[in-house]
Amino acid sequence: MSRTIIPAMHFHLFLWALIATSICELLFVGLLHLLPRLGQAGAAISDACTRAPMLDLVVSLLTWVPWLIAGCAAGWFGVLGAVVGQAVVLFAWTSLHEMMHREAVNGPRLVKVMNRTVGRWNNYFALWVTLIALPGFWLVRLHEFIAYIPLVWLLDFPKYRQGEWVNVSRQKFQGLVGHDLIWCLYCDWMTGVYSLGAEMLRNVESFWCPIRFYGGKKCENCKTDFPDIEQGWVQPNGSMADVVQLWQEKFGDGQRGWFSHPTRLTVAGKPIETPAAAEIPVSP
């Protein structure tokens, strides 16, 4: 096969994936906009799509699912085409949404003040750099199912309604449109994924390793995300007898949450039901 044919094949694969991804994602985004206008049932489905587990499906269809399909069908050139197609959809949706909300576009906006402060291209390029984190956050989200849920079954770790953590709501904020809205929704999703992962890791750390770090600076840096560092972990100059005693004190009664977990708060001896302590489905 000649050298001219091979690049042509690669270009056709790239172009096929780009066009297919663009069309499918534009139709899907259009459906998401249409759902709230389809009566009570449509509004209910639309609302469900803003929180896990339905939100997981929505974000999957807008991110990694096209990569997987294009990769299986057309290899790495297909993946590249899918990514470019997604970028095309992002720019197209942003432009259309801003055209439909001219009053908000002409008013005060985050993108305007940021562009003036740090420079237009610095701001835009920095935003696109944050997309590098997307696969990492998906790995965290995956592990919130495959790594944490077995701990609920095996050790009776606290359960969570994941939709109360992993959800998006900034689309309801007045005046947040187009460019600002899509990036704020990205942060909205990432914040929920990170917060739920951190909460689960608090349970893991205090259950298995309730010992303060020797590096005082590390304790200071980590105590915000791991409050038990200041609320009971054994000092680094303590003994294993201290650790065993602490573990029996904190977990010997069947409690499995970190030391200040809401399930440990009681009224008349009964746990208080809170969003952090509430049960979630144990399967995606």
Q: Tell me the pLDDT tens digit for each residue of 125-139.
A: 999 999 999 999 999
Q: What is the pLDDT of residues 137-168, one digit of tens each?
A: 999 999 999 999 999 999 999 999 999 999 99
Instruction: Map out the domains of the chain as residue ranges.
Output: 1-100, 132-284
Q: What is the pLDDT of residue 6?
A: 54
**Higher-scoring residue by pLDDT: 276, 186:** 186
Token readout for 273 is 């039901």
Mean pLDDT of 210-222: 90
Enter the DSSP assignment of 51. Answer: B
pLDDT winner (highest mean) among 5-14, 205-214, 266-275: 205-214
Q: Please state, as a whole number, how many other Cβ atoms lie within 10 Å of the Cβ of residue 23.
A: 12
pTM for this model (two decimals): 0.87
Enter the DSSP assignment of 172. Answer: G
Q: What is the pLDDT of residues 200-213, one digit of tens each?
A: 999 999 999 999 99
Q: What is the pLDDT of residues 25-44, one digit of tens each?
A: 999 999 999 999 999 999 99
Q: What is the pLDDT of residue 243?
A: 96
Q: What is the pLDDT of residue 216?
A: 79
* Residue 5 binned pLDDT confidence (cut-offs 50, 70, 90): low
Q: Please state, as a whole number, how many other Cβ atoms lie within 10 Å of the Cβ of residue 249.
A: 11
Token readout for 60 is 């999957």
**Mean model confidence pLDDT for the chain:** 90
* Residue 263 binned pLDDT confidence (cut-offs 50, 70, 90): confident
The residues, ordered by sequence, that sit 6+ positions from 78 with a Cβ below 8 Å of its Cβ are 13, 14, 16, 17, 70, 71, 72
User: Do the Cβ atoms of 277 and 256 come closer than 8 Å?
Assistant: no
Token readout for 229 is 């560092």
CA distance 87 to 124: 13
Q: What is the pLDDT of residue 272?
A: 43
Q: What is the pLDDT of residue 141?
A: 97
Q: What is the pLDDT of residues 80-114, one digit of tens each?
A: 999 999 999 999 999 999 999 999 999 999 999 99
